[in-house]
Amino acid sequence: MIRNPNIPEIVRAVASDGTQLRYALMELSTQYKDAIQLGRGDPDLATPAHIIAAAEDAVRSGKTGLTPIAGLPELREALAHKFQRENGLSVETDNIIVTTGGQEAMYLVMQTLLDPGDEVLVPDPRYTSYDEAIESAGGSIVILPTDHDDAYNLRPEVVEAAITPKTKALLIVTPSNPTGGIVTEERLRAIAEIAIKHNLIVISDEIYEKFVYDSWQHFSIGSLLGMEEHTITLNGFSKTYAMTGFRAGFVAAPKDFIRAMAKVKAVTTGPAAAVSQWAGLAALNGPAEPLREFQRIYAERRQVMMDGLRELGLDFSEPRGAFFLWTNTSSTGIHATELSYLLLKEGRVLIFPGTSFGENWGGFLRISILQSTDLLKEALQRMRPIIERYRSES
Ligand SMILES: Cc1ncc(COP(=O)(O)O)c(C=O)c1O
């Protein structure tokens, strides 16, 4: 229940729709010019110079026409090598399609994969854009609970218990948006066995793969024996290389699936923008140093935010990956949507409520760390009086 009657209509009207709620809050935040943006999951860091140079070069040298629907052959080949080398996947160029961002990839995957009535198992809390992608293809989502005590790892027995004759696929997002949890290799091995036994497709969104902390490791389920024909791996350039606006993503899947996806892509957006594909190729072939620097920066910010939240007395799940702190705010006694609004209005900090990642999460906020450490510290200071006021009231 949202008790604050002053929550503006643009937030209230969409409070039960995670994706719309995020957009409504972002729109509202534009009214507060000094608001610190800890909402979106888009890197704030500059795209590395060699990638910008490749994009400029592509424009100047007239590489501005259409590419083949599935993407530039050079880029598909480089992506196949990346998947082989870094993820252990047995793929070739024909197993790859380049998309207009991961966002389009998830839509095309669902359109291609699902028949009306199919069920997709989705760990909760979740990146709710998948809800829309699944539902727009006539599918329905079946929620798989994950929790703090298990660091939001996915339990194989929870997966197996949710399978019905209608189950077509299982979605895994590792590292996770919004929890920062990862699905560990041991669990992925058990889940792979279940997928093979029940003939399920695993859609593995690995868009945050490069950002894992402490000694945690990213692992790709598609690398496991027997999973080649059962896995659709989704990824993109946005997060790894701070290239969100280039809108370039990619998918690895069985060849016939890629051909079917390309048919859907041909009648939606056509090929991904040529300039973005050349930039993506430069990102893959370029120096590793900029990514290492990003990793260092995010690790430092994660530490600043963890220290700050501990000082505020808020409980959270230590992120093993990605850019987010999934923070328990139930001690304030105030619903997350309302708290998020108050933090924006009174504290000038935009943070998404847990309810924008699933209806069950009214006691959580997702705090992103995509600002400088100074701004993160400033945001923590602005949050303090609001959190403390409500905690003492409740
Ligand atoms: C889990 C996940 N998958 C996919 C995407 C899509 O990213 P993009 O369209 O920028 O590649 C996002 C964006 O936030 C995400 O969080």
Dist CA 318 CA 93 (whole Å):
37
**Distance, CA 13 to ligand 1 centroid (Å)?**
25
Q: Is 218 within the bounds of a domain?
A: yes
Claim to verify: residue 296 and residue 161 sit in the same structural domain: no
**β-pair partners for 364:** 328
C-beta separation of 172 from 153 below 8 A: no
Claim to verify: residue 215 and residue 294 sit in the same structural domain: no
pLDDT tens figures, 308-364: 999 999 999 999 999 999 999 999 999 999 999 999 999 999 999 999 999 999 999
* DSSP SS3 for 14: coil
CATH number of the domain within which 335 lies = 3.90.1150.10
Dist CA 28 CA 31 (whole Å):
6
Claim to verify: residue 101 and residue 215 sit in the same structural domain: yes
Claim to verify: residue 104 and residue 170 sit in the same structural domain: yes
Both tokens of 241, joined, read 């290389």
Mutate to test the pocket of ligand 1, among 177, 218, 356 (most ligand atoms within 8 A of CB): 177
| End residue of a domain, out of 285, 313, 330 | 285
pLDDT of residue 138: 98
Strands (E), 329-384: 349-350, 352-353, 364-368
Domain that includes residue 223, residue range? 54-285
Q: Is 66 within the bounds of a domain?
A: yes
Q: Is 141 within the bounds of a domain?
A: yes
Q: Which pTM was predicted?
A: 0.96
Dist CA 273 CA 293 (whole Å):
27
Residue 148 amino acid letter: H
Q: Is 132's pLDDT higher than 60? A: yes
In this structure, which residue's CA is closest to atom 14 in ligand 1?
41
Mutate to test the pocket of ligand 1, among 40, 106, 207 (most ligand atoms within 8 A of CB): 207
**Distance, CA 236 to ligand 1 centroid (Å)?**
8
Both tokens of 312, joined, read 């505020």
Q: What are phi and psi of 385, to 5 degrees?
A: -60, -30
**Distance, CA 102 to ligand 1 centroid (Å)?**
5
What percent of the chain has a predicted confidence (pLDDT) above 70? 98
Claim to verify: residue 39 and residue 58 sit in the same structural domain: no
Both tokens of 139, joined, read 């599918």
Cβ < 6 A, ligand 1 pocket: 41, 101-103, 127, 173, 177, 205, 207, 236, 238, 244, 249
Q: Is 180 within the bounds of a domain?
A: yes
Q: Is 3 within the bounds of a domain?
A: no
CB atoms within 10 A of CB 194: 16
**Distance, CA 177 to ligand 1 centroid (Å)?**
9
Dist CA 367 CA 353 (whole Å):
9
Claim to verify: residue 124 and residue 259 sit in the same structural domain: yes
Claim to verify: residue 213 and residue 280 sit in the same structural domain: yes
| End residue of a domain, out of 236, 265, 285 | 285
pLDDT tens figures, 73-108: 999 999 999 999 999 999 999 999 999 999 999 999
Q: Print burial letters for 239-265: b (CB count within 10 Å at least 16), e (below 16).
A: bbbbbbebbbbbbbbbeebbebbbebb
> For all residues of the chain together, what is the average pLDDT?
95
Claim to verify: residue 127 and residue 22 sit in the same structural domain: no
pLDDT band at 5 (very low <50, low <70, confident <90, very high): low
Q: Is 4 within the bounds of a domain?
A: no
Q: Report the domain count for the chain.
A: 2
Q: Give the nearest ligand 1 atom to 244 CA.
A: 10
Claim to verify: residue 352 and residue 236 sit in the same structural domain: no
pLDDT tens figures, 150-202: 999 999 999 999 999 999 999 999 999 999 999 999 999 999 999 999 999 99
Q: Which helix (H) or strand (E) holds 192?
A: helix 185-197
Q: What is the average per-residue pLDDT within 202-214?
A: 98
Mutate to test the pocket of ligand 1, among 171, 238, 369 (most ligand atoms within 8 A of CB): 238
CATH number of the domain within which 92 lies = 3.40.640.10
Both tokens of 16, joined, read 């039960």
